[in-house]
Structure 1
Amino acid sequence: MTETSTQADMTVVVTGASGRSGRRVAEAARAAGLTVRAASRATGFDWRDRSTWADVLRGADAAYLAHPTDVGAPDAAGAVGALAREAAGLGVRRLVLLSARGEEQARPTEEALGEAGVDWTVVRAAWFAQNFSEGPLVEELRERGELVFPAGAVGEPFVDLRDVADVVVSALTSGERYAGQVLEVSGPRLLTFGEAVAGIAKETGRALTYRPVTPQEYGENLAGFGVPEEEVAFLVELFGSLLDGRNARLSDGVREVLGRAPRDFGDFVREEAASGTWVPDPSGRG
């Protein structure tokens, strides 16, 4: 992609296009005038089946890569590296990888991207605000009124996924400006998980609580729910390091790339509360 390319000329592949981050990247890309090629199992793309990759990548200018489990998962570096090499061979000129701030397990995946022979950018994000409104944590808050999680009293600058998506699209469309760079993005202030849950409780008028546990206790809970042993082991190791305080700091990537302050967690909570995100299901089915 050259500086003279117009966004209307660009076709971008968005992996995980129906997921938390991919859906918002696709929306932001379309809003910016890009042609989006959604890549998910619903459209025939499968990270674990290399025979599905070429048809999705061929003829695209750029791609957003979000590994389906975790960027630091044991299979992530191999999968991302292989996909990136295939993309390079098919003429895709820019790849943007979603990574995680402070996650040492993600470094091999980032390195695999950098070795693929294509322009790349890594977006390392803080914990998503939307993890409280989508995915496995929201049911605990909605139906049980309690969040059990191994974060202790550590501070985290929760980042709004809409900001992550805007940074990704900017990296995809800014020519060489962010090529070969790591962009760290976070929200504008630190909150503990307990403070985050208290903010949701205040906005919803519900008696919501946060109960911290150790990573080992959390792993035992996951195993009790039938999570495979190897996945439990990875998550226990991940949370034991990622939530040890190393991320209790702000990053200026949103302002650096977008020229504005990141969205505040309180604004996210007000919007989600107004839409009924944390209202219990009267049927009891979640």
Structure 2
Amino acid sequence: MTKPTNTTRTTVTTHTTTKPILVLGGTGKTGRRVVSRLQQRGYDTRAASRTGTTRFDWADENTWEPALDGAGAAYLVDSQLADAATSMSAFGKLAAAGGVERLVLLSARDWVVPAGEEKLPCERAVRESGAEWTILKPAWFFQNFDEDPYFRGQVLDGEVVMSTGDGVEPFIDADDIADVAVAALTEDGHGGQAYELTGPRLLSLGAVTDEIARATGRDIAYRPVSQADFADYATRRGVPQEYVGLLNLLYGWIAESRFAELADGVQRVLGREPRDFADYVRATAATGVWHG
């Protein structure tokens, strides 16, 4: 299923600020891209991570206030831990109280949760922070296949093994996510918006594998397996048990084609179409990263 796309950009004005822009996860897939774009545009950018110059650790609240000191906006990536929403709530309120005007949260597309449980509670924490907020809700990243050691390892081995069946997902380029994040951090007009971000096509893992194989000229096969067989396979490859469970959960959603709908968030924010997977594959294959 697809939604009509809208390539008309939301009317915005540039938000000029001399205050630093804090980027949590500044070395991650999206964070480092956000940092690079902000720096290229001349913004005072503060890349924060557990080991960076600006140290930030969700588990160490003593690192929060120094990272926020004097910042005017912040790009947020949660801890991915069970208490992530609690930490996000405390951090968001600390940020707003300290003068941070704008928070942009990297979240995820909505999913169904059991009765009585809250869906994506980190989003609520940011909405209730007291600062202007924007929430980004992307599909799976293209870059999982070349920047994540586990997924890249499968491509290098010539066999992509997943419990995703024939389901489809609207994979998106992390560069598009970063472009949207920078717009939300530096332009007016995005406050109070939750942008669903997808690529332009629905792709199965079989189709993904075929495109990588064609671009690299290598024999790479997709092998769909049951969740039990995937758990055995991943465990033999040294994947931690808790991560195996998470992958099976995420793969199960793809198998169900739970998010098989295109969204127009990229078009609304940037006024252009999102990058196609084929373009990403050709450019990435040319780097040799899938040849070991």
- TM-score w.r.t. the length of structure 1 is 0.88
Secondary structure of 1:59 counterpart: coil
Alpha-carbon separation, structure 2, partners of 1:202 and 1:239: 24
- The verdict on how the C-alpha distance between 1:132 and 1:226 changes in structure 2, with shifts beyond 3 A counting, is closer
Compare 103-112 and 123-132 and name the one that shifted more: 103-112
Q: Of 128, 132, 153, which aligns to 1:139?
A: 153
Does 1:270 pair with 2:257? no
Q: Could you tell me how far 1:5 is from its partner in structure 2?
A: 4.5
Alpha-carbon separation, structure 2, partners of 1:75 and 1:244: 28
Q: Could you tell me how far 1:250 is from its partner in structure 2?
A: 0.7
- The verdict on how the C-alpha distance between 1:187 and 1:206 changes in structure 2, with shifts beyond 3 A counting, is same
CA deviation vs aligned residue, 1:88-117 (integer Å, no higher than 9, x gap): 121111111111123456611111211222
Alignment: residue pair count: 273
CA deviation vs aligned residue, 1:120-150 (integer Å, no higher than 9, x gap): 11100011000111112011111x1111122
Does 1:152 pair with 2:162? no
Secondary structure of 1:120 counterpart: strand
Q: Could you tell me how far 1:255 is from its partner in structure 2?
A: 0.7
For 1:85-100, list aligned pairs within 5 A: 85-100=93-108
Match of 2:270 in 1: 258
CA deviation vs aligned residue, 1:46-75 (integer Å, no higher than 9, x gap): 121111111011100111111244xxx523
Contact 1:16 1:68 in 2 (8 A): no
CA deviation vs aligned residue, 1:29-56 (integer Å, no higher than 9, x gap): 2223221101001222112111111101
Q: Of 58, 70, 73, which aligns to 1:62?
A: 73
Gaps of 5+ in 1: 281-286
- The verdict on how the C-alpha distance between 1:13 and 1:25 changes in structure 2, with shifts beyond 3 A counting, is same
Q: Could you tell me how far 1:10 is from its partner in structure 2?
A: 4.0
Q: Of 10, 14, 23, which aligns to 2:23?
A: 14
Alpha-carbon separation, structure 1, partners of 2:121 and 2:131: 17
Contact 1:146 1:211 in 2 (8 A): yes
For 1:1-286, list aligned pairs within 5 A: 5-7=15-17, 9-43=18-52, 44-69=55-80, 73-104=81-112, 107-135=120-148, 136-142=150-156, 144-175=157-188, 177-225=189-237, 227-241=239-253, 243-280=255-292
Identity over aligned pairs, percent: 44
Give the letter for the 2:60 counterpart. Answer: D
Contact 2:145 2:151 in 1 (8 A): yes
Alpha-carbon separation, structure 2, partners of 1:242 and 1:94: 33
Alpha-carbon separation, structure 1, partners of 2:146 and 2:133: 30
Please report the RMSD computed on the Cα atoms of aligned residues, expressed in angstroms: 2.1
Secondary structure of 2:257 counterpart: coil
Higher RCO (C-alpha 8 Å, min separation 6): 2
Alpha-carbon separation, structure 2, partners of 1:60 and 1:261: 32
Compare 54-63 and 30-39 and name the one that shifted more: 30-39
Q: Could you tell me how far 1:226 is from its partner in structure 2?
A: 5.0
Q: Could you tell me how far 1:241 is from its partner in structure 2?
A: 3.4
- The verdict on how the C-alpha distance between 1:167 and 1:82 changes in structure 2, with shifts beyond 3 A counting, is same
Secondary structure of 2:103 counterpart: strand
Compare 87-96 and 28-37 and name the one that shifted more: 28-37
- TM-score w.r.t. the length of structure 2 is 0.86
